[in-house]
């Protein structure tokens, strides 16, 4: 099962694949790899409050295929991406930010999704466009 894990204190998110049944510690819902914990900036904390959202069912239990997202903005300034994400979260549950790193700079991309089909992504893209956003559908 693919899930998105969001650190509740800092808002950072990472997508991971669950590959076992743990954790086996009371009051914990997921153990993360070191790489995932680094992305969430929680290595020093060790344990953090997170939200876990299912992105795709376990293999063999749902339609195969790719996932799609709707990109609503791309920014050279992280703060602008954070502002847009907060604005969108008032109306959409599944808003996240990805970072594109180039040799010269970084771009923070605000997306809504993922969606299990292009059709579902197009429906949300249409709604966002009616709200005045310039959108594109991208692979998740």
Say what the pLDDT of residue 4 is: 84
CA pair distance 48, 29, nearest whole angstrom: 11
Domain architecture of the chain: domains with CATH: 2-56 (2.40.40.10), 68-139 (3.30.70.1070)
pLDDT at 98 over 90: yes
Say what the pLDDT of residue 110 is: 97
pLDDT at 103 over 70: yes
Residues 29 and 23 sit within 8 Å (Cβ to Cβ): yes
Q: To which residue do tokens 């900036």 refer?
A: 41
Q: What is the mean pLDDT of residues 124-132?
A: 94
pLDDT digits (tens, 9 = 90+) for 73-90: 999 999 999 999 999 999
Say what the pLDDT of residue 93 is: 86
pLDDT digits (tens, 9 = 90+) for 4-58: 888 999 988 888 887 766 666 777 788 888 998 899 999 998 899 988 887 765 5
pLDDT at 108 over 90: yes
pLDDT at 60 over 90: no
CA pair distance 2, 15, nearest whole angstrom: 7
Q: Provide the CA 101 distance to its chain's centre, in angstroms.
A: 17
SS3 125: helix
Q: Which two tokens stand for residue 23?
A: 């954790």
User: Phi, psi (5° rounding) for residue 39?
Assistant: -60, -40
Q: What is the mean pLDDT of residues 111-126?
A: 92
Say what the pLDDT of residue 128 is: 95
How do beta strands 68-75 and 136-139 pair?
A: antiparallel
Q: What is the mean pLDDT of residues 63-75?
A: 85
pLDDT at 72 over 90: yes
Residues 128 and 84 sit within 8 Å (Cβ to Cβ): no
């Amino acid at each position: 099962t693919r899930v998105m894990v969001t650190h509740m204190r800092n808002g950072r998110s990472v997508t991971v694949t669950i590959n076992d049944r743990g954790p086996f510690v009371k009051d914990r819902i997921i153990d993360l790899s070191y790489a995932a914990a680094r992305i969430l900036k929680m290595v020093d904390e060790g344990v953090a409050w997170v939200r876990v959202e299912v992105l795709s069912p376990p293999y063999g239990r749902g339609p195969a295929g790719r996932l799609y997202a709707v990109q609503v903005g791309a920014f050279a300034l992280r703060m602008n991406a954070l502002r847009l994400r907060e604005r969108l979260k008032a109306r959409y549950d599944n808003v996240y930010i990805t970072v594109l790193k180039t040799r010269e700079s970084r771009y923070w991309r605000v997306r809504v999704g993922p969606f299990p089909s292009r059709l579902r992504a197009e429906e949300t893209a249409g709604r966002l466009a009616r709200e005045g956003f310039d959108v594109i559908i991208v692979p998740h």
